[in-house]
Amino acid sequence: MSFLKIEKLKKSFGKVDVLKGIDLEIEEGGFLVLVGPSGCGKSTLLNTIAGLEAITSGSISINGKVVNDLHPSQRDIAMVFQSYALYPNMTVAQNIGFGMEIRGVAKAERDAAIAKVAETLQIGALLDRKPSQLSGGQRQRVAMGRALVRDPLVFLFDEPLSNLDAKLRVDMRTEIKRLHQRMGTTIVYVTHDQIEAMTLATRIAVLKDGVLQQFGTPAEIYNKPANLFVADFMGSPSMNLIPATVEVDGGKVGISMQRDEGQPLLLPLGNSAGGLASRHGQKVVFGIRPEALTDLDSADRNATQVSELDCEIEVIEPAGSDTFAVTRLGGREIVARLRADAPIAAGQTARLAFNLDKALLFDPETQERIL
Ligand SMILES: Nc1ncnc2c1ncn2[C@@H]1O[C@H](COP(=O)(O)OP(=O)(O)OP(=O)(O)O)[C@@H](O)[C@H]1O
Ligand SMILES: [Mg+2]
């Protein structure tokens, strides 16, 4: 049974419809990550779950109980806000313990809980400081501490790591994952960060303009995006999306793409594309992630359908563990992922391997994935 269930949820501010009928559910102990462009309604959705915003229609239930009309304090939820505010005149310890103090928890119990959270978040040495004496990252951890000190039904996090530097962000990401594994509390988490979404989530919901685009496991969202928006939004660097035409020859399905010079390029698709035979001559968008486009040595040995192709390399971008190469196909700039020391330089022609097992096709009219 789902622990948190959101059905046909709509939220309007005056005439502006911000959430346009959202259906989502997550099991107990699940980690639901909400992603989507700025302004798509992520924080609004979180605020409706918390009860900070009244919903226009639909329903929200937690642990089998509809909470639509429950006051935030009765929902047993702990939230870390996008713009967290600490009490400036209280110490770190007082900030973390304030909620418990309000609820009348005894001092000894409070102190023990504060010490435990401080250890987890590595802010033990800061407990007597005021917020003004902390760095941004330290303040953010204190804000997390205020939520973690509780044992709620659901944690809601709104971009809790957004103000941290890259290193601390990665450390905290691991820490949050560890916390989740240990506590097993249900979490709903908003982020802009692809990697955060992929690494933390048991389920990802992709939102655009208040409409749910796809709801699935990280692997489903990444490997089988429902439409062009999800395909383009998830993954870094983004999926290559190239205009192409379906070619059917003797029952074999392939796609052709324009090249800058010479004949169009014809790529064969595997048997899984058999269902597209009726689409001969139709325009499609060919999607392939950078990691399925590699130097020959890095090609996936287990792939069944690989095409090799000479490509003009325009730009080389070393990224440490691997190198990205920019080339061009079908009038589009595309990105290939090479191993770090691949002997390929800008301005050269290099032979690249296309792993067509990973090829996706989209209908440019409906934007939906068709392969
Ligand atoms: N109180 C409000 N009154 C009117 N419009 C609002 C209100 N709160 C949010 N909105 C609008 O609702 C839309 C969604 O806002 P929301 O804060 O949920 O977006 P978001 O996905 O969290 O964006 P970001 O990633 O930038 O935080 C935006 O267009 C915003 O302007
Ligand atoms: Mg927001």
CATH number for the domain harbouring residue 263: 2.40.50.140
Same domain, 79 and 30: yes
Q: State the burial class of residue 165 (Cβ atoms within 10 Å of its Cβ: 0-12, 13-18, 19+).
A: exposed
Asked if residue 258 is part of any domain, the answer here is: yes
Given 229, 263, 285, the domain boundary residue is 229
Identify the residue with better confidence: 39 or 141.
39
Same domain, 264 and 115: no
Name the band, by pLDDT with cuts 50, 70 and 90, for residue 279. Answer: very high
Supply the pLDDT for residue 272. Answer: 87
pLDDT at 85 over 90: no
Q: Which ligand is the nearest neighbour of the Cα of 38?
A: 1
pLDDT at 136 over 90: no
Supply the pLDDT for residue 235. Answer: 94
Asked if residue 54 is part of any domain, the answer here is: yes
Same domain, 73 and 151: yes
Ligand 1 in contact with 208 (CB < 6 A)? no
Same domain, 110 and 254: no
**Number of domain units in the chain:** 2
What integer best gives the mean pLDDT of the chain? 94
Q: How big, in percent rounded to 5, are the helix, strand and coil portions of the chain? A: 30, 35, 35
Residue identifier of the C-alpha nearest atom 31 of ligand 1: 39
Supply the pLDDT for residue 179. Answer: 86
Q: Which ligand is the nearest neighbour of the Cα of 205?
A: 1
pLDDT at 276 over 90: yes
Same domain, 90 and 33: yes
Supply the pLDDT for residue 193. Answer: 87
pLDDT at 163 over 80: no
Supply the pLDDT for residue 137. Answer: 82
Same domain, 199 and 140: yes
| Amino acid letter, 74 | Q
pLDDT at 142 over 80: yes
pLDDT at 175 over 90: no
Domain of residue 201, CATH code: 3.40.50.300
Same domain, 92 and 143: yes
Atom number in ligand 1 closest to CA 53: 1
Mean pLDDT of 334-361: 96
Candidates 215, 230, 217; CA nearest to 6 is: 215
Q: Which ligand is the nearest neighbour of the Cα of 47?
A: 1
Ligand 1 in contact with 43 (CB < 6 A)? yes
Mean pLDDT of 196-200: 95
Same domain, 266 and 150: no
Ligand 1 in contact with 16 (CB < 6 A)? yes
Supply the pLDDT for residue 349. Answer: 95
Retrieve residue 26's tokens: 């997550």
Question: What is the sign of the dihedral through the CA atoms of 179, 182, 187 and 192?
Answer: positive
Residues 6+ apart with CB under 8 A from 298: 337, 338, 339, 342, 353
Q: How far apart are CA 297 and CA 263, in angstroms?
A: 27
**Residue 327 sits in which domain range?**
240-362
pTM of the model as a whole: 0.93
Mean pLDDT of 72-98: 92
Supply the pLDDT for residue 294. Answer: 97
Asked if residue 352 is part of any domain, the answer here is: yes
Mean pLDDT of 143-164: 90
Supply the pLDDT for residue 109. Answer: 95
Name the band, by pLDDT with cuts 50, 70 and 90, for residue 18. Answer: very high
Q: How far apart are CA 46 and CA 195, in angstroms?
A: 20
Same domain, 151 and 268: no
Supply the pLDDT for residue 83. Answer: 78
Percent of the chain with pLDDT over 90: 82
Same domain, 210 and 70: yes
Q: How far apart are CA 348 and CA 315, in angstroms?
A: 10
Atom number in ligand 1 closest to CA 210: 14
Mean pLDDT of 321-325: 96
Asked if residue 368 is part of any domain, the answer here is: no
Q: State the burial class of residue 137 (Cβ atoms within 10 Å of its Cβ: 0-12, 13-18, 19+).
A: middle
Q: Which helix (H) or strand (E) segment is 174 a member of?
A: helix 166-183
Same domain, 223 and 244: no
pLDDT at 171 over 90: no
Given 178, 195, 229, the domain boundary residue is 229
d(CA 86, ligand 2 centre) in Å: 19
Asked if residue 235 is part of any domain, the answer here is: no
Given 229, 251, 268, the domain boundary residue is 229
Residue identifier of the C-alpha nearest atom 17 of ligand 1: 43
Among 10, 12, 13, 190, say which to mutate for ligand 1: greatest number of ligand atoms within 8 Å of CB. 13
pLDDT at 158 over 80: yes
Name the band, by pLDDT with cuts 50, 70 and 90, for residue 197. Answer: very high
Asked if residue 166 is part of any domain, the answer here is: yes
Same domain, 282 and 142: no
Asked if residue 367 is part of any domain, the answer here is: no
pLDDT at 162 over 90: no
Residue identifier of the C-alpha nearest atom 16 of ligand 1: 41
Asked if residue 369 is part of any domain, the answer here is: no
Q: How far apart are CA 74 and CA 72, in angstroms?
A: 5
pLDDT at 259 over 90: no
| Amino acid letter, 29 | G
pLDDT at 121 over 90: no
